[in-house]
């Protein structure tokens, strides 16, 4: 079995507008890859398309998780196959507590006649909340309802920690975070790093990558990757600016 998340020649449209153009990328398990690029270049579309959002039409191409294509799967099946998306804008679910929501998500992964052991569940939930410096009282609060930006992002990472995905896509997880919250979120993600997780960190700024140090950095522009390289590429991009990306894109298109 191949241990990687493969995105192969993915073409994605919203309505008649093509956003992703023959996009290809491979994230081996155990590695953290970063995707950087200017706004409107298709980063969030990539995240939603991988997760199976019904509004994003995949016209051709494939996403393969550990050798198995997930293209025919609904969003929930993809999740249960081990794919997690930390949302840029997490949704509010009034009346549904964090504890109940995560428990329902975990129960959805169990065979029909099995239920989660409640004491074990709370023990694990509390441990992970402590790590992310989330007040334990939050278990009784409705998911993201009235949360600050930083609280929402920490709640995303808490869900990720509880669901233990094989591959996680983190979409602009740093947006809306102050430096302290950013450090906490990064620590949370770093604690999950290891041979059992492959992560794709999508970000507009290099700042997050000071704390979650990627193995590979990809630069994205106009629906495709225009340059890949080691972590230093993020710094180069920061100093040369996104104008440089346009030049790179010109070269890719010409080649």
**Contacts to another protein by CB under 8 A:** 51-55, 74-76, 78-80, 84-85, 87, 90-96, 100-102, 104-105, 108-109, 142, 159, 163
SS3 label, residue 92? coil
Which of residues 55 and 232 has its CB atom nearest to another protein in the complex?
A: 55
Do 199 and 189 form a contact (C-beta atoms < 8 A)?
Answer: yes
Cβ neighbours of residue 213 under 8 Å, at least 6 residues apart?
Answer: 32, 231
Provide, rounded to whole angstroms, the least separation between the CB of residue 65 and another protein: 14
Q: Residues 145, 150, 153, 157: is their CA dihedral positive or negative?
A: negative
Which of residues 140 and 253 has its CB atom nearest to another protein in the complex?
A: 140
- The neighbouring-strand residues paired with 69 are 64
Which of residues 79 and 139 has its CB atom nearest to another protein in the complex?
A: 79
Provide, rounded to whole angstroms, the least separation between the CB of residue 83 and another protein: 8
Provide, rounded to whole angstroms, the least separation between the CB of residue 157 and another protein: 13
Which of residues 21 and 80 has its CB atom nearest to another protein in the complex?
A: 80
CA gap 87, 107 in Å, rounded: 21
In the numeric block, the tokens 């804008």 are attached to 89
Please give the structure tokens belonging to residue 39. Answer: 């706004």
Please give the structure tokens belonging to residue 12. Answer: 């994605």
Which of residues 50 and 245 has its CB atom nearest to another protein in the complex?
A: 50
The length of the chain in residues reads: 255
Provide, rounded to whole angstroms, the least separation between the CB of residue 132 and another protein: 17
Provide, rounded to whole angstroms, the least separation between the CB of residue 254 and another protein: 38
Reduce the secondary structure of 156-214 to three states and give it as a string. Answer: HHHHHHHHCCCEEEEECCCCCCCHHHHHHHHHHHHHHCCCCCEEEEEECCCHHHHCCCC
Which of residues 11 and 100 has its CB atom nearest to another protein in the complex?
A: 100
Provide, rounded to whole angstroms, the least separation between the CB of residue 14 and another protein: 14
Provide, rounded to whole angstroms, the least separation between the CB of residue 97 and another protein: 8
Which of residues 124 and 142 has its CB atom nearest to another protein in the complex?
A: 142
CA gap 231, 81 in Å, rounded: 29
CA atoms within 13 A on the CB side of 103: 18
Report phi then psi at 18, rounded to 5: -80, 130
């Amino acid at each position: 079995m191949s241990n990687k998340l493969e995105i192969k020649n993915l073409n994605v449209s919203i309505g008649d507008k093509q956003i992703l153009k023959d996009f290809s990328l491979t994230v081996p398990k155990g590695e953290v890859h970063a995707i950087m690029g200017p706004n409107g270049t298709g980063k969030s579309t990539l995240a939603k398309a991988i997760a199976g959002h019904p509004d994003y039409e995949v016209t051709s191409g494939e996403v393969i998780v550990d050798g198995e294509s997930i293209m025919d799967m609904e969003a929930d099946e993809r999740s249960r196959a081990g794919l997690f998306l930390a949302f840029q804008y997490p949704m509010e679910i009034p009346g549904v507590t964090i504890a109940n929501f995560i428990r329902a998500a975990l129960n959805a992964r169990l065979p029909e006649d099995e239920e989660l052991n409640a004491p074990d569940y709370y023990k694990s939930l509390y441990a992970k909340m402590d790590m992310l410096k989330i007040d334990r009282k939050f278990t009784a609060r409705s998911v993201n309802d009235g949360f600050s930006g930083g609280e929402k992002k920490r709640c995303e990472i808490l869900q990720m920690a509880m669901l233990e995905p094989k591959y996680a896509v983190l979409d602009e997880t740093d947006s809306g975070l102050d430096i302290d919250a950013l450090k906490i979120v990064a620590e949370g993600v770093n604690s999950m790093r290891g041979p059992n997780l492959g992560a794709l960190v999508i970000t507009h700024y290099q700042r997050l990558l000071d704390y979650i140090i990627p193995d590979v950095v990809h630069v994205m522009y106009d629906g495709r990757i225009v340059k890949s390289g080691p972590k230093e590429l993020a710094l180069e991009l920061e100093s040369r600016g996104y104008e440089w990306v346009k030049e790179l894109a010109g070269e890719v298109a010409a080649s």
